[in-house]
Structure 1
Amino acid sequence: MTMVVQWVRSLIFMITIYAWMLILGLVFAPYALFAKRGALMACKTYARTTLWLARWMVGIRSEVRGVVPTGEVVVGAKHQSFLDIIVIFDAVPHGKFIMKRELLWTPIIGLYARRLGCIPVNRGKKGAAVAKMVKDVAKEFNEPGQLVIYPQGTRVAPGVHKPYKVGTAILYEGLGFTCIPVATNAGVFWPRTGVLRKPGLAIVDFLDPIEPGVARNEFLGRLEEVIEMRSDALMREVGFDPDGIH
């Protein structure tokens, strides 16, 4: 019975946050069209209210650990669910995401992604996509911000292994920025699929920076090691065994 109640609460929560996204998107649209500040204000408002609703409606508390970057950096983040996107965006002053190009044509999301300075990538053209991504990012960074990229390229369920792609290393190398690895256990409570949201403490942890100048292969190895080890530790902290998934 308890699980049924939680599922119903989860369904109401999901309907609420997507309806709220539509309402906020429409209300702020005139402001966002003429000022990037309007887009940032709308998205920050959405992130903060969604985190509050998650705590109140389904019992998901969120916690940010580590030193949150405020300057121009590449944030290489573990991606398990929509929740870690929201927590990271709420934490950093001006987050810009590497995102799949198809999202640009999504109502509301596409408008705000463009105004925030998010960088679209065509996944179907690997080499060309990475080269264009570096060029587009360099152009976009006329304005300061924290560039968030997911090294595995997609959401990965807790305990599932997926290799890290070279795009993050190429960005780090091409831009000459410090990289901040980020670990999370958010997918334990807010899974990548399904409706059910489980109560508990979702953590996003900003780890020690990797300074510019590390060779590509060494950088990618270090990035994967620190993110995976810390994410596994965060999952164990809340009672989830990542080694139990096969």
Structure 2
Amino acid sequence: MRNLSPVPGRLGPWQYLQNALYYLHVGLATLLIGLAGLPFVAFGGRDAANAVATRWIGYMLWAARLHLGVTCELRGTPPEGDCIVAAKHQCFFDILVIAHALPRRAFVMKREVMRVPIMGWYAYKVGCIPIDRARGRDALRAIAGELRARLASAGGLGQLIIYPEGTRTRPGERRDYKHGVGTLRLAADLPVVPVAVNTGLFWPRKGWGVRPGRAVVEFLPVIAPDFPRDEFMSRLRADIEDNSDRLLAEAGFRQ
């Protein structure tokens, strides 16, 4: 694991107040948008749930720009077909940006998250897949079976977002990649789209002390389903980490 020095400087009291106002604002908006969308989702299924989610995520991004002065430049071409999206994960902000860029997004997420009132129900309706990490290989086999079933259905899979490191990381930090993404890719014969980010420079892992600026999220060239199995993880890791380091350097971050 490699660590680079943290971004220098301290935030003033006003910026922390702006952070608090943002979370208060989006908390209320989440409740209102979630409740207002329930009747549509109850009768409209996954497409309706995705429409509500897109509106909610867009509102969250707008509020981040309003309160915190944070925007994001989107590079590359977001996929539209069935695939796995394997992304660097530095903070809550990159979740929003990546999800907003995809038309039929879904996440592999901890099952506890899907028990959260309202939003957990939406996560289920848009196709998010819960994972019980304690079950190890059994959990991966269950997810692989779910992917194959969805691919065979009329609605298809959509874009399944996975974080190969399994957690948020600091800018410049590299962790070992978990092999779940490779297992699911083979089991479902899916292309994988790597994603690089530098969002952690502006939005810390724990969500407080957000700094104004323009982050970058970049969709990288697709890795085809027939890419050699024994080379896949090293290729994926190099694509994501090297390009994330490049985006950090562009923003002025140095070791």
Q: TM-score, normalised by structure 1?
A: 0.94
Residue number in structure 1 paired with 2:56: 46
Alpha-carbon contact 2:174-2:241 (below 8 Å) kept: no
Alpha-carbon contact 2:195-2:218 (below 8 Å) kept: yes
Residue number in structure 2 paired with 1:27: 36
Residue 101 (structure 2) aligned to one of 91, 96, 112: 91
Alpha-carbon contact 1:119-1:137 (below 8 Å) kept: no
Q: CA deviation at 1:172?
A: 1.0
Residue number in structure 2 paired with 1:174: 187
Quick one: distance in 2 between partners of 1:119 and 1:216?
24
Quick one: distance in 2 between partners of 1:226 and 1:83?
21
Q: CA deviation at 1:71?
A: 0.8
Q: CA deviation at 1:94?
A: 0.7
Residue 215 (structure 2) aligned to one of 187, 195, 202: 202
Residue 192 (structure 1) aligned to one of 186, 205, 209: 205
Quick one: distance in 2 between partners of 1:2 and 1:148?
32
Q: CA deviation at 1:101?
A: 1.0
Letter in 1 for 2:52: A
Quick one: distance in 2 between partners of 1:166 and 1:37?
31
Range with bigger deviation, 52-61 or 141-150: 141-150
Alpha-carbon contact 2:91-2:207 (below 8 Å) kept: no
Task: Give the SS at the match of 1:62.
Answer: strand
1:46-92 residue CA offsets vs partner (Å, 9 max, x unmatched)? 11111111112111011110011111111111111111111111111
Residue number in structure 1 paired with 2:14: 5
1:165-199 residue CA offsets vs partner (Å, 9 max, x unmatched)? 00000111111111110011111111111421111
Residue 69 (structure 1) aligned to one of 79, 98, 114: 79
Task: Give the SS at the match of 1:124.
Answer: helix
Residue 109 (structure 1) aligned to one of 105, 109, 119: 119
Residue number in structure 1 paired with 2:129: 119
Q: CA deviation at 1:26?
A: 0.9
Task: Give the SS at the match of 2:134.
Answer: coil
Letter in 2 for 1:140: R
Task: Give the SS at the match of 2:90.
Answer: coil
Residue 223 (structure 1) aligned to one of 216, 236, 243: 236
Quick one: distance in 1 between partners of 2:162 and 2:136?
15
Q: Do residues 133 (structure 1) and 143 (structure 2) align?
A: yes
Runs of 5+ unmatched residues, structure 1: none
Q: CA deviation at 1:240?
A: 2.2
Letter in 2 for 1:213: D
Quick one: distance in 2 between partners of 1:240 and 1:56?
25
Q: CA deviation at 1:23?
A: 1.2
Alpha-carbon contact 1:117-1:140 (below 8 Å) kept: no
- Structure 1 vs Structure 2: percent identity of aligned residues? 38
Alpha-carbon contact 2:11-2:209 (below 8 Å) kept: no
Runs of 5+ unmatched residues, structure 2: 1-9
Range with bigger deviation, 212-221 or 145-154: 212-221
Quick one: distance in 1 between partners of 2:113 and 2:42?
18
Residue number in structure 1 paired with 2:7: none
- Cα-Cα RMSD: 1.4
Quick one: distance in 2 between partners of 1:108 and 1:123?
23
Q: CA deviation at 1:2?
A: 6.3
Q: CA deviation at 1:9?
A: 0.6
